[in-house]
Amino acid sequence: MILLSQRDERWSNEKLGFSTDTTIGSHGCLITCLSMIWGSDPVKINDWLKNNNGYAGLNLVDWTSLPGFEWRGWIYEDDKVKETIKKYGCCIIETDFNINPKDGSHFVVAIGNGKIYDPWDGKEKAFGSYKIFYGYAIINPLKNPVREATMVSTPDWIIINSDNWIGILTYLEVTKKNPILDDAKNVVAGIKARANDMEKQRGQAEANLVTAQETISTINDRLLAETVKGKDLSSNLIKNEAKVKSLNGQLDGIIKEKGKLLEEVAELKAKRGFDEIMRPSFRGKKSNYSLIKYK
């Protein structure tokens, strides 16, 4: 059974029954319950009820028109509800959002184990989510008008397809020559157990996925931080390279200046040596030029 919400945008604005101002979203809790137990959707159930005298008046469901209808209890009987769930796997129960029955009631699907499917928001809830119950309805979900519309229209449909049923039971390793209902129930119980195991595995896989996503998010955050740090380092490197280039330019200038100064010093030394050689020496009255060694 799938969870459905009467306020799903796919059908919430559809008119309920033949009314002009009431929608599935506002008052379609019962047909949404029927959709869940019949494996359909509120639009199809709404159309089926309209085309098969399923509405009394504009939009009140006529219980007796429903395929599989067995009983409508106007007083809540817990034992009967539990028996129905044990027999069919579900039971429609009438409750309310508050304790005032005059402002309308609300229908939910009881599924056992203290759980209900609430069509108001399409969620599984605890049975005690509602404080009061007014009544219940027993409907055999196997008498499904939407599904049966696609089957061969004959009361002998199951008999005609009995070979298929036996073939399925044999395939599922029910090896008796003449399988009985209990054999089929055992097979179904095994399938349900396997489905429960798979559901647990899926839950664990989803938990692992969440953990992996959190790890990936953490790594992405670290990667982003490292990327920002890398950009800062690159920016600093560019600035430092510019500084080095500038310093290299200054160093080249200094080297050139030093070269010029060395040339000037060499020139001055050479000039000074020449002057020392050519400097006159006076002895007495006569003047002579003497060679003076430059050191």
Using a pLDDT cut of 90, give the percent of the chain over it: 41
Task: State pLDDT tens for residues 221-236.
Answer: 888 888 888 888 888 8
> Is a pLDDT exceeding 90 seen at residue 200?
no
Number of domains comprising the chain: 1
Q: What is the 3-state secondary structure (H, E, C) of the chain?
A: CCCCCCCCCCCCCCECCCCCCCEHHHHCHHHHHHHHHHCCCHHHHHHHHHHCCCEECCCEECHHHCCCEEEEECCCCHHHHHHHHHHHCCEEEEECCCCCHHHCCEEEEEEECCEEEECCCCEEEEHHHCCCEEEEEEECCCCCHHHHCCCCCCCCHHHHCHHHHHHHHHHCCCCCCCCCHHHHHHHHHHHHHHHHHHHHHHHHHHHHHHHHHHHHHHHHHHHHHHHHHHHHHHHHHHHHHHHHHHHHHHHHHHHHHHHHHHHHHHHHHHHHHHHHHHCEEEECCEEEECCCCCC
pLDDT exceeds cutoff 70 at 158: no
The answer to the question of residue 260 being in a domain is: no
For the ranges 97-111, 118-132, 185-199, 248-262, the maximum mean pLDDT occurs at 118-132
Stated pTM of the model: 0.52
- Kindly state whether residue 70 falls inside one of the protein's structural domains: yes
Of 64-68, 98-102, 237-241, 252-256, highest mean pLDDT = 64-68
Q: Model confidence at 167, in pLDDT bands (50, 70, 90)?
A: low
pLDDT mean across residues, the chain: 82
What does the pLDDT look like over 130-151, one tens digit per residue? 989 999 999 999 888 887 554 4
In a domain, 55, yes or no: yes
In a domain, 54, yes or no: yes
Instruction: Tell me, yes or no, whether 262 lies in a domain.
Output: no
Task: Specify if 160 maps to a domain.
Answer: no
With respect to residue 119, please indicate whether it lies within any of the assigned structural domains. yes
Is pLDDT at 70 greater than 50 in this prediction?
yes
For 26, the domain range is 1-150
Residue 32 within a domain: yes
Asked if 97 and 133 count as a contact pair (C-beta separation under 8 A), the reply is: no
